Amino acid sequence: MSEKIKVFALAGLDEDGRDCYIIEINNDIFVIDAGISLPDKTIPGVDCLLPNFDYLIKNKERIRAYIITHGHDESMGAIRHFYKYAPAPVYCSRTTMTIMEGQLAISEQQKLKYDFRIIKPSDDVTISGTRVRFFQTCHNAANSSGVAISTSQGNIIFTGDFIINFATEETNYQFDLAMASELAKEPTLLLMAESKNADKNGYCSPKHRSSDLIEKYFKLNRRIFVACYWQNMYRVREIVRLVKKYNKKIYCYDNYTEIIMQQIVAATGTGSLTKDDFVSKENFLRVRKSDLVILMVGQNDDLFKEITSLARGNNSDKRIILGEDDIFIDVALPRPSFETIATRSMDLVYRTGCDVVWLKNKDVSAMHAKEDDIRFVLNLFKPKYYFPVRGHYTKIMENAKLAISLGIGLNHMNVFVLDNGMQIIFEENRRPVILPNEVTGIDVSPILVDGRGVTKINDEIIETRQKMGIDGSVVIASTVSLEQKKIIAGPDCQMRGFVFVKEAEPLLKSITQIYLEEVNTMLNRGLDIEQTKNTIKDRIRWFIRRENGREPLIEPIILVIK
């Protein structure tokens, strides 16, 4: 039976994270990953960005499965925000399930229940009549996987995040070459492979290992601090192996670290850790310092904020003091948007006088496919069509150029470099058709999450936050009685982020005077409140621009009682 196939991204193209790819086979929708991305400094006040899930909600009756390839926020972090509006079975490893449930607990969303369908490495399952096969990949999240969806025109293969690495005894981090080779015996209609490190030469392995660089410090008779991202489970596993090898014990720096380590152990059984491998809070001072490895795990910039607090002595547990006799090892490779705060935090660590081991991108590689890793899968699967995904446009272009250069039949006609929302349509015995966003009508504008919850992004919101971030804000408020025609409380003026303390008093008096003049005029003449607020904004804006050249966000408030 001939099938009509559509492939597109709701998010994940020309960006870092927010992965969400759609495979439609006739009337069935398969969603591969549903992740978040982190904001840069052009979007102040935002916690994270989600794929636009309007398309999934509108077509929720057709969703047959969410396939989550591994337990990272960029692959699973968004699903909890929209699952109740568009539920469907969630196919993932037991490790990924444990991490997803743990994240629900941390975010206090335990009432949300996923319909999990647990898959093992290299499982072969049928979903709504479609054969779906998995093959384990090597990534820094345990039990990561690629996926192959069978169609009448050949397999659609999504590699997920991967590196080619066979020199590992860790079953949770092995690339399943046997299963991948079995899939390669069948025709591959479309290969979708990651692009994050497509511009870097060689294989990622063995530079993905940090243990070779830090093991010598575990041999020393000194207390060790280690800072690590919790989502890099491979890195956590390396630390655990060294702890056990040199008969040291782990002390969890804070409650968050303790909770995360419980989740990781539950998910992966990391190194057969037992209760005896940890030091409780009560026994912290009873253990020799030289036997201790104080582990700090976190995510995003929160980890570097904790490092800053520790270095300044502002941490909550005052028994933990970083000193000259300690070794501080940082194995958390910051994203570009966090490099500044990471550098500042480590500068403070250096000032404590401790010995610092600070691994950087030149020392150890993130576990994402480099040029030779990508060459390997391209030569293995020899796809009829190729769709580079996951990464900024420059990385996707490098991935595409690499594919064309291999001489395996890929060229400018069958390698697709697309934007989010653009569809590839495959029909039997026809050339694929590419539909632009203007035709598909799929809304792919990001959705933001901030302190208020989930919000659609629009230019006004972003412009307002940028203005507050650059030029600060002025809020002035009072309560008035229309009946008595007078101000009965206030005005109270608050200024933030645009004026030095020594300049604040004269500015405050002038701004308050402008506000009083306009509000009294309104009361005496019976003017419209909104018109008065606009006049106040204009006068204060002009005054501040004249005084110091800034243009803060100005918000006059007039509360009315009878």
pLDDT digits (tens, 9 = 90+) for 262-304: 888 877 766 677 788 899 999 999 999 999 999 999 888 889 9
Give the residues across from 472 on adjacent strands: none
Residue 203 reports pLDDT greater than 70? yes
**Residue-number span of the structural domain to which 339 is assigned:** 211-358
Mean pLDDT, range 375-388, rounded to an integer: 97
Which CATH number belongs to the domain containing residue 410 in this structure? Answer: 3.60.15.10
Average pLDDT taken over every residue of the chain? 89
| Domain boundary, last residue among 410, 436, 456 | 456
Looking at the structure, do residues 177 and 311 belong to the same domain, yes or no?
A: no
| pLDDT value of position 463 | 56
Query: What's the domain count of the chain?
Result: 3
Mean pLDDT, range 469-483, rounded to an integer: 79
Looking at the structure, do residues 382 and 450 belong to the same domain, yes or no?
A: yes
Give the residues across from 158 on adjacent strands: 147, 192
Of 204-218, 330-344, 442-456, 494-508, highest mean pLDDT: 204-218
Which CATH number belongs to the domain containing residue 474 in this structure? Answer: 3.10.20.580
Looking at the structure, do residues 95 and 227 belong to the same domain, yes or no?
A: no
| pLDDT value of position 45 | 64
Which CATH number belongs to the domain containing residue 314 in this structure? Answer: 3.40.50.10710
Residues 108, 18: Cα–Cα separation, whole Å: 22
| pLDDT value of position 527 | 80
Looking at the structure, do residues 419 and 515 belong to the same domain, yes or no?
A: no
| pLDDT value of position 419 | 95
Residue positions counted in the chain? 562
Residue 199 reports pLDDT greater than 80? yes
Q: Is the four-CA dihedral 197, 198, 199, 200 of positive or negative sign?
A: positive
Which tens digit of pLDDT belongs to each residue from 310-362? 999 999 889 999 999 999 999 998 877 778 889 999 999 999 999 999 998 88
Looking at the structure, do residues 344 and 398 belong to the same domain, yes or no?
A: no
Task: Decide the pairing of beta strands 447-450 and 48-50.
Answer: antiparallel
Mean pLDDT, range 183-197, rounded to an integer: 97
| pLDDT value of position 560 | 86
Closest by Cα among 96, 189, 87, 76 to 136: 96
**Tokens 């979903």 -> residue:** 127
Closest by Cα among 99, 101, 40 to 300: 40
Which tens digit of pLDDT belongs to each residue from 94-125? 999 999 988 888 776 767 899 999 998 889 99
| Domain boundary, last residue among 358, 376, 410 | 358
Mean pLDDT, range 482-486, rounded to an integer: 83
Looking at the structure, do residues 400 and 487 belong to the same domain, yes or no?
A: no
| Domain boundary, last residue among 325, 358, 391 | 358
pLDDT band at 471 (very low <50, low <70, confident <90, very high): low
| pLDDT value of position 1 | 62
Looking at the structure, do residues 354 and 412 belong to the same domain, yes or no?
A: no
Looking at the structure, do residues 242 and 387 belong to the same domain, yes or no?
A: no
The C-alpha angle with vertex 337 and arms to 335 and 338, in degrees rounded to 5, equals 70
The C-alpha angle with vertex 243 and arms to 237 and 248, in degrees rounded to 5, equals 155
| pLDDT value of position 509 | 86
Q: Is the whole-model pTM more than 0.85?
A: no
Looking at the structure, do residues 431 and 353 belong to the same domain, yes or no?
A: no
Residue 461 reports pLDDT greater than 80? no
Mean pLDDT, range 453-467, rounded to an integer: 55
Residue 495 reports pLDDT greater than 80? no
| pLDDT value of position 104 | 86
Lowest mean pLDDT segment, chosen from 114-123, 207-216, 400-409, 505-514? 505-514
Task: Decide the pairing of beta strands 486-496 and 553-561.
Answer: unpaired
Residue scoring higher pLDDT (340 or 188): 188
pLDDT band at 529 (very low <50, low <70, confident <90, very high): confident
Looking at the structure, do residues 418 and 464 belong to the same domain, yes or no?
A: no
Residue 457 reports pLDDT greater than 70? no
Looking at the structure, do residues 445 and 472 belong to the same domain, yes or no?
A: no
Which tens digit of pLDDT belongs to each residue from 12-58? 999 988 999 999 999 999 999 999 988 766 666 677 889 999 999 99
Mean pLDDT, range 174-184, rounded to an integer: 94
Looking at the structure, do residues 452 and 463 belong to the same domain, yes or no?
A: no
Mean pLDDT, range 220-234, rounded to an integer: 93
